[in-house]
Structure 1
């Protein structure tokens, strides 16, 4: 690629470079890491986060708390909603096109004949930027799984596992134990791993024991308690407990579990000579935000709830939240889904809170087609529900605006691509 190439040109080229969109394995990407001179142990304190749900929310809270404490922080997440630069941030700000393109140039020069996927290019770019800027803290979100994900070429000082659910079974396995075992691959011997998974999934503890990682589990070494207008966090390790904490700014009961997991990580930072105050913790809790996670928008008397939930566990949390809220009018579902997802189960869960189903294809080659969605959803919800299908959100949106009335609510869910389409139309 030319040095004068734009970021979009680089990204378009990367989409055609590798034979597989998802190609799990570390040999190729690790070889390029070595050529770039990026150490497996960055000079920054590295926190790597894996899990089925809650990765992004936990990372964003950690980022905000670190910023409030005055620590410099780099973060890498995926996918992005609007701009690619959202994936790589320094102190909460997306890095520039120029910085990413410079990293891409270095990667392209160093890789020689090694083929890299779109995600691997982005991961190496983030690591190259963090290695050059050396922030106090680096937060890395695993893309898929853990053990064979490109992020795992870096040794984390603290590994984090959020909640585990049934998703990406084609790559990770067909049981919670199998999926958790893959995600546990981010652990390192002799180093801390914080698990926010409340259930007794044995492969997490087994992996930690087999490699000698220091496992701290929610409900065992740390826990939280909700109160009327605040909450508390405690641990059995001798660290300071936290009382009268601010309520999480992000919505949903599950955010307390994510926050409790984040607080265990924040507490461990003192082992790396970073002291974080209760004031910084509260500032982070009050300010952290992630688009598309029970995001609520009020427009002309209609409540729009935008959520990226696309697996059974995520949809169950969305449904529970909707049941707890009062809606005077109808609830419209705007829904699309990628193939390989558990479509029938998702529909059964959500149909309890939906009056009208509006289905759409997603701008992705793996999307369910509108005819498939219409057939399957109609069979699940029965004749008493209104169901319609469209070729894209651009077609659906203006028709939806004509149907809804003040007091109604619209729930958009099923994919990051759904939220992306909505955000572009505004």
Structure 2
């Protein structure tokens, strides 16, 4: 790399995006080689690695809030980002600065020599170097794709988590839940706790745990939760295991804004990381945990707007269930943009029972699905469905603003790209 004026963060991102011909190249040999040259050291931190089709981000968020409430320093790595690359690397809840990220990219560039790295691998190594240097108490790593061959899997965790296993990224991970489950369980380690939050996991998750000698904590077996509906309030109970294998019970916990199953999974992880987690810290975290693009509530003028990146049937079913419990007084409008390698029909079918008006948007790029194609798929499900199409998210938002009435609600979903474009537009209009 030529010396001279230091590169800005945007210049670094352009550089690493162009330095490898493939967006995805599974395998750990190249990443391990560069990591060895960087001399990464996580001996001063406890590491939690989180894989899964859905729920990785909210599980990480719950843990981050719980641990910080308990007084521990934390570092989080996640992807993709919505508005700024800095969102991917967070220390104690704050995004890493441009300067810190650029310094890490300089180090990775120097260490890699002639070893080619993908954009994700480059970013992962930069995040790991930052965490290695800063040595927080807890490092929470979200898997980008799969698990076994994902770049974050070069770090040995103290607890490994598989949130859910569903059909997604089948070109890379396999076309059955059994194959995908085996890939995601590849983050497990011998004699190390492995937590699974999928209530009906494929058998391969337990098989890999047994093969590797990991101690599996399975929802419905090692831990469980139950939501309670009372006259004027909701609460839930949780039961799980502590580090000694003893039963722990927590009753009448506050219901969080993010998915409850992931809160239950996070609680089991927490009890494997800490000796005696404080109930007050847990309650505060449950009440306060929020994250961008997951059941995120904003206002579109005078209308409530929910943003969620749901892009597969499992995630769409969860949102539909949440919305069905508290339907709007008026109509539910859905602004939906999806990629062409996703299960469009499955997402539409999951949302169909709660939607009154569909607003389909075209997404750009080679993987983007056109609004017309989405509308055609909806017409196959319901020829009478009210469907409108738009060239992009900005056009759709402007139109939806004019069409909503008092009591209506808007859901924006289908892809990270859809939600990030909507957030950018809403930020401009704020």
- TM-score, normalised to structure 1, is 0.94
Task: Indicate whether 1:264 and 2:265 are aligned.
Answer: no
**Aligned-partner Cα distance in 2 for 1:352–1:153:** 43
**Aligned-partner Cα distance in 1 for 2:253–2:359:** 40
TM-aligned CA distance change 1:230 to 1:328, over 3 Å:
closer
**Aligned-partner Cα distance in 2 for 1:404–1:231:** 34
1:155-304 alignment to 2 at 5 Å?
A: 155-227=156-228, 228=230, 229-235=234-240, 237-250=245-258, 255-270=259-274, 275-304=276-305
**Aligned-partner Cα distance in 2 for 1:240–1:108:** 47
Q: Could you give the per-residue CA deviations for residues 31-61 of structure 1, whole angstroms, max 9, x where no partner exists?
A: 110111114x543100000001111001001
Whether the 8 Å contact between 1:103 and 1:125 is mirrored in structure 2 is: yes
Q: Could you give the per-residue CA deviations for residues 253-274 of structure 1, whole angstroms, max 9, x where no partner exists?
A: xx2211111111111113xxx6
Task: Indicate whether 1:26 and 2:18 are aligned.
Answer: no
Whether the 8 Å contact between 1:363 and 1:417 is mirrored in structure 2 is: no
- TM-score, normalised to structure 2, is 0.93
**Aligned-partner Cα distance in 1 for 2:131–2:295:** 30
Q: Could you give the per-residue CA deviations for residues 111-132 of structure 1, whole angstroms, max 9, x where no partner exists?
A: 0111111111110011000100
Secondary structure of the residue that 1:283 maps to in structure 2? helix
Deviates more, 1:400-409 or 1:285-294: 400-409
TM-aligned CA distance change 1:372 to 1:108, over 3 Å:
same
**Aligned-partner Cα distance in 1 for 2:227–2:375:** 41
Whether the 8 Å contact between 2:158 and 2:192 is mirrored in structure 1 is: yes
**Aligned-partner Cα distance in 2 for 1:341–1:179:** 16
Gaps of 5+ in 2: none
Residue of structure 2 aligned with 1:15, choices 14, 17, 36: 17
1:299, CA displacement in angstroms? 4.2
Secondary structure of the residue that 2:66 maps to in structure 1? helix
1:210, CA displacement in angstroms? 0.7
**Aligned-partner Cα distance in 1 for 2:287–2:357:** 34
1:91-130 alignment to 2 at 5 Å?
A: 91-130=92-131
Whether the 8 Å contact between 1:47 and 1:138 is mirrored in structure 2 is: yes
**Aligned-partner Cα distance in 2 for 1:318–1:240:** 30
Gaps of 5+ in 1: none
**Aligned-partner Cα distance in 1 for 2:335–2:373:** 15
Number of residue-to-residue matches in the alignment: 417
Whether the 8 Å contact between 1:72 and 1:91 is mirrored in structure 2 is: yes
**Aligned-partner Cα distance in 2 for 1:362–1:275:** 47
Whether the 8 Å contact between 1:46 and 1:140 is mirrored in structure 2 is: yes
1:239, CA displacement in angstroms? 4.5
Deviates more, 1:101-110 or 1:238-247: 238-247
Secondary structure of the residue that 2:100 maps to in structure 1? helix
Q: Which runs of 4+ in 1 moved over 6 A?
A: none
Secondary structure of the residue that 2:11 maps to in structure 1? helix
